[in-house]
Structure 1
């Protein structure tokens, strides 16, 4: 009997770049087709995994190269749009060419989703996560190579045009605290939500009123993203309406960026608070309160 993965590799799709405007997650078969049509392929896995092998033609990328360097600002994108655009052009990102991003759903923080969230926020309308990541593309027959490339042979022509559709600032979130129509989701581990600080935040706890929902709970046992109805059911089990305005945060906006990407793909309204706990916990308690415990 053929495995599901081998069967998937034989499935032909009809994905188009235009479909990606609404579709933030693509199947491995769809990604393979897009790559065959000339899409830019970015690998957002951690370096030690990249060094074991890369998908042929892919470019290594890290969310950190687009982020500010100050400790409390590490989750926030660089302020200079020209600098951001240049860094993306160096990766081969172009204005009208699809971008597909892989990571490892079992080893990492959802870096692929963070990169896709960033691209969408900067105005790229055809960026998508590959469901199942690197290994899923290998399973559908994508060739690999040992060399790790950090720049494209030919630069792209991407020009950043930032939108506020999928991000929220600290000051905006402060104004939204306590509003009935806004649901704040903390996607960190339960221990972090309750008050542990494994990543060195200056203060502990979670934003008042936040609902805890570990980001990996949107993955199945094989590292695949749950179907839309299963996602909605899990959210509703936590009292989260599909009509809510959702704000997502974590430590540095990486896990939250992935979660925002997945929710947006499912048709929900979600924004990533990229500053997340590194910024919030570095701010005065009077204006950026935190609470500990289960609620």
Structure 2
């Protein structure tokens, strides 16, 4: 009897080994539209892996380059969500790893298991003017592109970023739209401020910020603040707890914007519609320090929400 059981087990094991491996469907659009993951991979893009160095060194896609979102951000812990002020220095660094504005770049990360790091790096590249940037989960890329022989990355000449300022918003402007009131004019000395003390209230407001070609008054009526932290974080602290904040605040966790392969999730459009967020809205995206909010801004832009912008300073700067 024991011999028969062992024979059946051996036959089962042999049969399992002979099964054809499951084929991964690679014709799925990598972003909304017609560009597929298969086509992107066939063009030998520059591969960035944003996982921690320890994980990267354990195993990574051949030819991938390990970067961290912090590499491109300010070192001061109070402003760590904000990009370095010298964007040309970032561009020079990118040129040394084969990236310029015309490069095709795939950013690999942990997807929904991470904290949006690949979306943050993708957003950073877009701010600098890199036109084609895509995100994927590390394991999905291995399935889609099993080739071991990737060409070596070649340096690119130094290039000057063509900055897309519409992808990010300063603290002062974020605050102005959140409070829906113009920031007061700042003066260089107390004496000048005192001398102008008789001017009527409101006369010193400005300069008025503008978003997406709209003046302040027209834009503020379209603004919605999208908090993409977890519901638990939102419950503990959020902008609705500040009475002076007049803009509507909506919570929708960042993971909803990506599928299991790290690609943009079109199903989230239904959730946005249910929360009265259409493509006509100006969406100010916020998280703790601009990582998850950058990932969501990247996803929103890919889905056609062209008036979405990342507040990179996040709650850390708001505090």
Q: TM-score, normalised by structure 1?
A: 0.76
Partner of 2:103: 97
1:273 matched to 2:311? The reply is yes
1:183 matched to 2:224? The reply is yes
CA contact under 8 A between 1:236 and 1:242: conserved in structure 2? no
Task: For CA contacts below 8 A with separation 6 or more, give which structure has more relative contact order.
Answer: 1
Unaligned runs of 5+ in 2: 1-18, 181-219
Unaligned runs of 5+ in 1: 146-151, 196-203, 282-295
**SS where residue 100 of structure 1 aligns?**
strand
1:60 corresponds, among 44, 62, 66, to: 66
Q: TM-score, normalised by structure 2?
A: 0.71
| Cα deviations by residue, 1:151-208 (Å, 9 ceiling, x for unpaired) | x85322343221212111111112212432001101111222122xxxxxxxx53364
Question: How do residues 174-253 of structure 1 correspond to structure 2 at under 5 angstroms?
Answer: 174-177=175-178, 178=180, 179-195=220-236, 204-206=237-239, 208=245, 209-220=248-259, 222-225=260-263, 227-228=265-266, 230-253=267-290
Partner of 2:25: 8
| Cα deviations by residue, 1:28-78 (Å, 9 ceiling, x for unpaired) | 32332232xxx2111112333212211111111111010001111100000
Q: In the comparison of the two structures, how many residue pairs are matched? A: 251
1:84, distance to aligned residue in structure 2 (A) = 1.2
CA contact under 8 A between 2:120 and 2:295: conserved in structure 1? yes
2:86 corresponds, among 80, 85, 97, to: 80
1:173 matched to 2:174? The reply is yes
1:33 corresponds, among 33, 36, 42, to: 42
Which 4+ residue blocks in structure 1 deviate beyond 6 angstroms?
A: none
Between Structure 1 and Structure 2, whose CA radius of gyration is higher?
A: 2
CA contact under 8 A between 1:8 and 1:29: conserved in structure 2? no
